[in-house]
Amino acid sequence: MPIPQQFPHGGASLAYRFTPGAGPLILFLPGFMSDLTGSKAVAVADWARGHGQACLRLDYSGCGASSGDFLDGSIGRWTGDVLALIDHLWPSGQVLLVGSSMGGWIGLLAGMRLKTRLAGLVGIAAAPDFTRWGLKITDLDREHLETNGYFTRPSDYGAPYRYSRALIADAPDHLLMDGLIPIAAPVRLLHGQCDDAVPWRLALDIAARITGEDVQVRLIKDGDHRLSREADIAALVGMIKELV
């Protein structure tokens, strides 16, 4: 597999794969401690390439093949990575954001910043505000934050998740679920009802808070958090095709 391209930003070098093509640019946003080689990211890129569609995948700073310290990463910093790469590679065209889990939170934030340049947004088990509802921080966690700069949680997907001091401190500045989410572009939310990481009812709450009218939620009754089965991928690609 070719080595990813690199873009310097914020003291790090961001790894990315960009395929030129027709607009809107399809931009895949990975989840927490995930990267541009994930199965959904690759599937989206393969579909885009086969249909002549511009596509971008990236690793946030400190993640995957990007340089930087993961413990310096945060919702704000990673959203900044996304916007910087858009400005570098696709400075004026329309953008279709596809965000998985935490990438759905970053996608909503980036979409708000793109305003009329946002062609649409697809959320896959989107997890805005997960640092608030998904983490019960204990006294021992706080001790680890103070001494080590992070605390851990077990993960079903590989190495334990590391939640850093920077992430926890920055997240309150980017919470979305206390008010309206000013996005007018079409939004599609895909969520599995067997998701044990992000409650599927959050998709309904996100939909209610988005100010635009063209918002749809699709629930997959036997779908888990990954949503990476062949049928799940087909549902995701169908949403992208509709918005393109």
How many whole angstroms separate alpha carbon 71 and alpha carbon 69? 5
Q: Closest by alpha carbon to 212, among 234, 180, 240, 189?
A: 180
Determine the Cα–Cα distance for residues 190 and 155; give it in Å rounded to an integer: 22
**Cα 25 to Cα 54: distance, rounded to the nearest angstrom:** 5
35 a catalytic residue: no
Active site residue 225: yes
CA distance 228 to 40: 6
d(CA 69, CA 91): 27
Element holding 193 (H helix, E strand)? none
**Options 34, 100, 101, 164, the catalytic residue:** 101
Candidates 35, 59, 129, 195; catalytic one: 195
Q: How many CB atoms lie within 10 A of CB 222?
A: 10
Task: Choose among 182, 46, 211, 38: nearest CA to 124.
Answer: 38
Could you identify the residue written with the tokens 């998904």? 134
Residue 34 among the catalytic residues: no
Q: How far apart are CA 109 and CA 45, in angstroms?
A: 22
Q: Find the angle CA(187)-CA(112)-CA(192) to the nearest 5 degrees.
A: 35
Whole-angstrom Cα distance, residue 114 to residue 119?
Answer: 9
- Residue positions annotated with a catalytic role: 101, 195, 225
